[in-house]
Amino acid sequence: MGRPVVVFTDTEDLDPEPAARMLEDAGFEVRVGDSRDPDVIASLAADAVALIVGYARVDAALLDRLPGVRMIATMSAGYDMIDTAEAARRGLWVTNLPSVATEDVAVHAFACALSLVRRLPQADAVVRAGGWNEEFAAGGLPRRASELTLGLVGLGRIARHLATLAAPVFGRIAAHDPHTAQADWPAGVERYDDLDALAAATDVLSLHVPLTPATRGIADARLFGRLRPGGLFVNVSRGELVDTAALLDALDSGRLAGAALDVLPVEPPPPGDPLRGHPDIRLSPHSAYLSDTSRRAYVCKPAENVIAWHRTGRPVTPVVDPTAPSVEGATV
């Protein structure tokens, strides 16, 4: 009998080599793909027992072609690329990485917020163009951070870490998260049970929610319209959370003064994408999660999930648990 097969579907910019060594030492055969194409994945993983997934879509159609797969490990905190309901129906495990890059993403979001508040890109452009502080001030003065409210949509690990970083700098930290009980609400963060009310009290709004049918397009014209005039917007979560037409309109109308986006609906954005050329949008290439430490963890932690599942019958960080009493209760 051959060694069980694990397939890396799409590794993006990550190096799977250390994880491949771990898996081989644990008795697996490892194959590394470089494609989100379901035909390529189906060919490579026809006899696989586990997939380690970057951003490739894993749905019913693909799973029909992979009858041996019993475990799907994502290389991210988000797992919206996996049809979790279908995985639960088939009795498959699905895992994610809930805390590998918590610090990195929180620091990136904080840096984005401060860059917007202090107008650092504009200051840089003035100096490079031969100007100095008179020219910079003519474009609008930064507002003092201690007089501003940072609003967080979602209060998971990353948002909580951001709140800790931002508390000594911003005047107020507020958040909306209907899934967090009052007993678990962190001290120093004001609670808003209504998202519109949070937006109306916020100067800098930062998104920290997973992509679900309920959150898709949550940052829309209504939300931007509720923000305080001259508001600032940060998104380090998922590009599809944002109605980009509404964002552009809010910026062009002056309702928003600036936005920082680490994630976009299409990545990388095509040359004609208006998000790329807008003067009030600061972009980073979906790099909030990257650091020298997290880069290795993003491949090794999924491998640890696969190894734990194979040895003990249970992975370390499941989000779909087929041993739950019902399909409805299987997604954790």
329 residue type, one letter: G
* Residues 187, 73 share a domain: no
pLDDT score for 1: 60
The CATH number of the domain holding residue 56 is 3.40.50.720
The three-class DSSP label of residue 318 is strand
pLDDT of 78: 86
274 & 142 share domain: yes
Q: Is residue 80 part of a domain?
A: yes
Mind listing the pLDDT tens digit of every residue in the chain (332 residues)?
689 999 999 998 889 999 999 999 999 999 999 899 999 999 999 999 999 999 999 999 999 999 999 999 999 988 999 999 999 999 999 999 988 999 999 999 999 999 999 999 999 999 999 999 999 999 999 999 999 999 999 999 999 999 999 999 999 999 999 999 999 999 999 999 999 999 999 999 999 999 999 999 999 999 999 999 999 999 999 999 999 999 999 999 999 999 999 999 999 999 999 999 999 999 999 999 999 999 899 999 999 999 999 999 999 999 999 998 754 445 55
181 & 305 share domain: no
pLDDT at 324: 86
Task: Judge if 86 and 107 occupy the same domain.
Answer: no
Cα–Cα distance between 131 and 176 in angstroms, integer? 41
The greatest distance separating any two alpha carbons of the chain, rounded to the nearest whole angstrom, comes to 75
Q: Which residue has the tokens 């951001």?
A: 162
95 lies in the same domain as 106? no
Of 17, 147, 190, 267, the active-site residue reads: 267
Q: Which of 161, 226, 238, 295 is catalytic?
A: 238
- Per the structure, the complete domain to which residue 17 belongs is given by 5-100+292-320
Does the annotation mark 267 as catalytic? Answer: yes
Residue in 286, 295, 304, 310 annotated catalytic:
286
> Residue type for 189, please?
V
Query: In total, how many domains does the chain have?
Result: 2
Helices (H), 147-291: 157-166, 195-200, 221-226, 244-253, 274-277
How many other β-carbons are positioned within 10 Å of the β-carbon of residue 35?
14
Specify burial of residue 186 (Cβ count, 10 A radius: 0-12, 13-18, 19+): middle
